[in-house]
Structure 1
Amino acid sequence: MTLYRLLLRLLLPGLVLGVLLRRLRGRGVAHELRERLALDSGTGRPIWLHGASNGEITSARWLLEELLARDPSASLLVTCNNPTARTMVRSWGLPRTEARLAPWDSPGAVHRFLSHWRPRALLLLENELWPERLAGCAARGIPVLAIGARLSESSARRWGRVAPGLLRQMLGAIGWLSAQDAASERRFVAAGLAPIS
């Protein structure tokens, strides 16, 4: 985790600059950076659902609607990695639902995000495993559930060579995982996930 944090601190200025350069012609540069750095505040104790982009988020719309229907007091926070997916979620007009860009996976941004929003749980879609987010949730006792998770053979080999301890630590923060297929499930368990029952 130390090496991961060091690399991220070195890359963060480039990420900020990249956002600025991409958005110079459009509006909302400051707002996007505020979301990415978690400089804005949230309210309530939402259920946090994160998916990378439109496909993952669209596939989970039924889940969002079901959570809202089952618990009229529940609020949802949906994060994604691009403004298009955020706009899509907002266009659905779901009650008690906020859509935001995901915070960068840096210690400061994740700490601020979790402190502001205080999520009741984190639901991850597919392959969105971010070390700092998972460590932050584990440290605060926030349950993490992974839905439709996939770990390809090549990804498992790469993790095994580059950072097996980091993968084990991330998987240790996940309380429940639903794998896309039996092969992914076997690879997750071999990498350190508690056996799925």
Structure 2
Amino acid sequence: MEGRSDFSPTSRAKARPTGRRVIYTVLMYVLTPLFVLRLLWRSRANPAYRQRMAERFGFAPTLRPCLWLHAVSVGETIAARPLVERLLQAYPHYPLLVTTTTPTGSDTVKRLFGARVEHCYLPYDLPDALGRFLRRTSPVCAIVMETEIWPNLYAACAQRTIPLLVANARLSERSVRGYARVATLVQETLANVSLIAARGEQDAWHFQQLGAYAEQVSVCGNIKFDLQIPAGLVEQGQQLRQQWGAKRLVWVAASTHSGEDEIILRVFAQLRAHVPELLLIIVPRHPERFDAVARLCAASGFASVRRSAGGRVLPETAILVGDSMGEMLLWYACADVACIGGSWVAHGGHNPLEAAAFGIPVVSGVHVHNFADIFPPLCAAGGAVLVQDEAALYAQLHAWLHDVVLRQQAGVAAQIFFRQNQGALDCLIRHINTLMTIRVGG
């Protein structure tokens, strides 16, 4: 699908304040003290939430001009990694600013890119904060990852003729229903977008349902398929497996949420009765849950160690708690099978493609609406299985752990599916190059 790649006067005209956006803005100002209190509340578990508060009101580093990419948190930042690398190569004369909204996202930016990019938090969607932010940074192009629809932010970019690209754009049916409650405001907001680079035809259609024009939307595919496995990581995973015991089977339970860890531990106890050498690597999704999950594992009756404590995995060690940041790919490099959390509770699931990139078969719960474009075709290809309950999770893992041929066939199917769907990055770069040419004259 071809999309519009210019920043038209029609789009800029839509940036005029409307009654709906005025009401929205008043509500944002009224609610801002609650947003700040929420940060302070969350800072009890993670002190980083109360740090650098000024950035949330637009006090960004002075970079004029820059390229700007916004990724909400960890998942979006990791997904954006290949795009960031390409932008650094293609536009070395522009500072690259990456914004996030969470401390874990900030940590991920620093870990992945170091001093090669600038980082600050995205301001609240308040006109004065956004004006301050844009004056200090003067982006020549704004790239927003996935699904971030902010009326004042989009209008502020349009008012300043800053081309805005929504990259890897996704909208689930549930999100469409939610946004439909404020359909007119969303339609006005989307009119300020230069281009929506959708993951798939279904996402493109959902944006059009909310009022995006067909010429605004281009289907580029999912950039998460363009993940590049860092050099030497597979070898590092194999070295760890040799240290742990070459014949041990390894199950990675990734991105678990509250209420899922208990399920994982009960299934693990059943599996160990038949596979006594099985090692579980359990990786909570959020750092503030690391301690609680470590306590659950310690109370399970199995010998466990925490990655953060530097404990060695000994022959008698049954559980490794992955309470470190940035090592998820390493755990997949060590794995025989993987399950993906956020799917046994109604969260919407998490990305299975990192496991698929390593040829690891995936089992997930049924709550995967955030990845409705990935799980059905991955399951159809034979690389993943969705299970309804705890008993079905045990049955699927038991089958894979006991049948190496079955396990390897599923892993190969996952990896083939992953490789066959690459190419979104090249599409995104073409659109960004066009927008940049129009904005800065080549």
TM-score (norm. length: structure 2): 0.42
What is the aligned-residue identity percentage?
33
Q: Deviations over 1:98-120 (max 9, x none)?
A: 11111111112111111111111
Residue type of the alignment partner of 2:175: S
1:87 to 73, 85, 107: 107
Q: Does 1:166 align with 2:185?
A: yes
CA RMSD of aligned residues (A): 1.9
SS in 1 for 2:139: coil
Structure-2 separation of matches of 1:59 and 1:96: 17
SS in 2 for 1:163: helix
Residues 71/8 of structure 1: CA separation in 2 closer, same or farther (3 Å cut): same
CA offset at residue 192 of structure 1? 1.8
CA offset at residue 41 of structure 1? 3.8
Q: Does 1:68 align with 2:88?
A: yes
Question: How many residues are treated as equivalent by the alignment?
Answer: 195
Q: Deviations over 1:39-69 (max 9, x none)?
A: 2442221111111111111111111111111
- Unpaired runs of 5+ residues, structure 2, are 1-20, 219-442
SS in 1 for 2:52: helix
Residues 179/40 of structure 1: CA separation in 2 closer, same or farther (3 Å cut): closer
Q: Does 1:126 align with 2:146?
A: yes
Tell which structure's C-alpha radius of gyration is larger.
2
Q: Does 1:181 align with 2:204?
A: no
Structure-2 separation of matches of 1:126 and 1:43: 25
Checking the alignment, whether the CA contact within 8 Å between 1:19 and 1:33 is kept in structure 2 is no
Residues 180/40 of structure 1: CA separation in 2 closer, same or farther (3 Å cut): closer
- Unpaired runs of 5+ residues, structure 1, are none
Checking the alignment, whether the CA contact within 8 Å between 2:171 and 2:203 is kept in structure 1 is yes
Q: Does 1:108 align with 2:128?
A: yes
The residue number in structure 2 matching 1:26 is 47
2:172 to 147, 152, 161: 152
The residue number in structure 1 matching 2:72 is 52
1:6 to 26, 29, 45: 26
Checking the alignment, whether the CA contact within 8 Å between 1:49 and 1:77 is kept in structure 2 is yes
Structure-2 separation of matches of 1:40 and 1:189: 33
Residues 32/95 of structure 1: CA separation in 2 closer, same or farther (3 Å cut): closer
Checking the alignment, whether the CA contact within 8 Å between 1:67 and 1:74 is kept in structure 2 is no
Structure-1 separation of matches of 2:48 and 2:170: 36
Residue type of the alignment partner of 1:3: I
CA offset at residue 38 of structure 1? 1.4
Q: Does 1:37 align with 2:96?
A: no
Residue type of the alignment partner of 1:132: N
SS in 2 for 1:146: strand
Checking the alignment, whether the CA contact within 8 Å between 1:50 and 1:128 is kept in structure 2 is no
SS in 2 for 1:141: coil
Checking the alignment, whether the CA contact within 8 Å between 2:49 and 2:103 is kept in structure 1 is no
SS in 1 for 2:176: helix
Q: Deviations over 1:15-34 (max 9, x none)?
A: 122223433683683x4211
